[in-house]
């Protein structure tokens, strides 16, 4: 089974490259399942029903997110009714939405996607390690993909080792900077610390660079806006053995817009 993971989709440029390239990539690479992080897809912060529909329409099967998922109030219109849209599972009880999706691919393979959020340099939330333990206790053995949305690389690496052999894939998101540490861990879990950003690379992690430089130089508040140039699709391609549920390969991706 081939799984395509798409790193943080930023603004209109990120959505555009997904819309333009994903159908071709899925056909050429015979992709069975696609996961994309969407928390910055609407104007660089948050998600709306319309942008979610656009990404699902482009061919993404499940959307994960993170700390910006509720930045656009319109998301409350669909967060409870759209099972393919996830927010971190370790948010407090009673928070709208869900952190886990389970279903099947078109080929009949059972898949679960879990969304977690780290706690180091992030807003307070419940322990992601204990949360994932609780979720895994309720699941039968199957292909399981985990998005660990976190700031600290150490926390993401720790989660990879913690889940090695218990899930098929652990990938990190949030920093918008791709890491070069893709690997198959000893017990068969594919891991990468951060998929990177799907969006414009001519700014500062997706934001117009002049706005960011002014914030650094003068310290005055600025409303950040997405940049627009040098658009790339970043992520990873993972192959998973459908009998053992272990990953057999992981390839880091950075594809420039044509």
Residue 258 resides in a domain: no
Average pLDDT for residues 42-70, to the nearest whole number?
A: 97
pLDDT tens-digit profile of 72-103?
999 999 999 999 999 999 999 999 999 999 99
Does the structure show a pLDDT above 80 at 258?
A: no
State the total domains in the chain. Answer: 1
Residue 235 resides in a domain: yes
Q: Give the pair of three-digit tokens for residue 235.
A: 């992520």
pLDDT tens-digit profile of 13-44?
999 999 999 999 999 999 999 999 999 999 99
Provide the residue range defining the domain that includes 131: 2-245
Residue 188 resides in a domain: yes
Residue 16 resides in a domain: yes
pLDDT tens-digit profile of 159-211?
999 999 999 999 999 999 999 999 999 999 999 999 999 999 999 999 999 99
Contact present, 115 and 150 (Cβ < 8 Å): no
Give the model's pLDDT for residue 93. 95
Residue 253 resides in a domain: no
Rounded to two decimals, the pTM is 0.96
* Residues noted as catalytic: 68
More confident residue, 54 or 207: 54
- Strand stretches in the chain, DSSP E: 2-6, 8-9, 33-37, 62-64, 100-104, 110-117, 143-149, 169-173, 183-184, 190-192, 197-200, 231-240, 247-256
Q: What is the CATH classification number for the domain harbouring 64?
A: 3.60.21.10
């Amino acid at each position: 089974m081939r799984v395509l993971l798409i790193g943080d989709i930023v603004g209109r440029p990120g959505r555009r490259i997904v819309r333009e390239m994903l159908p071709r990539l899925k056909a050429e690479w015979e992709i069975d399942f696609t996961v994309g992080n969407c928390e910055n897809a609407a104007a660089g912060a948050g998600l709306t029903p319309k942008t979610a529909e656009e990404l699902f329409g482009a061919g993404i099967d499940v959307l994960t997110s993170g700390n910006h998922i509720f930045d656009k109030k319109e998301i409350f219109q669909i967060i409870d009714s759209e099972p393919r849209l996830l927010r971190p599972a370790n948010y407090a009880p009673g928070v709208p939405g869900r952190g886990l999706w389970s279903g099947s691919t078109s080929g009949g393979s059972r898949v679960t996607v879990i969304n977690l959020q780290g706690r180091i340099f992030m807003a307070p939330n419940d322990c992601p390690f204990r949360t994932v333990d609780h979720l895994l206790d309720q699941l039968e053995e199957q292909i399981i993909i985990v998005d660990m949305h976190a700031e600290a690389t150490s926390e993401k690496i720790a989660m990879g080792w913690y889940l090695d052999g218990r899930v098929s894939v652990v990938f990190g998101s949030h920093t918008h900077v791709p890491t070069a540490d893709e690997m198959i861990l000893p017990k068969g879990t594919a891991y990468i610390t951060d998929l990177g950003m799907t969006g414009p690379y001519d700014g500062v992690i997706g934001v117009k660079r002049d706005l960011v430089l002014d914030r650094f130089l003068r310290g005055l508040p600025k409303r950040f806006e997405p940049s627009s140039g040098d658009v790339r699709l970043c992520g990873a391609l993972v192959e998973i053995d459908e009998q053992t549920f272990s990953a057999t390969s992981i390839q880091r991706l950075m594809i420039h817009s044509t």
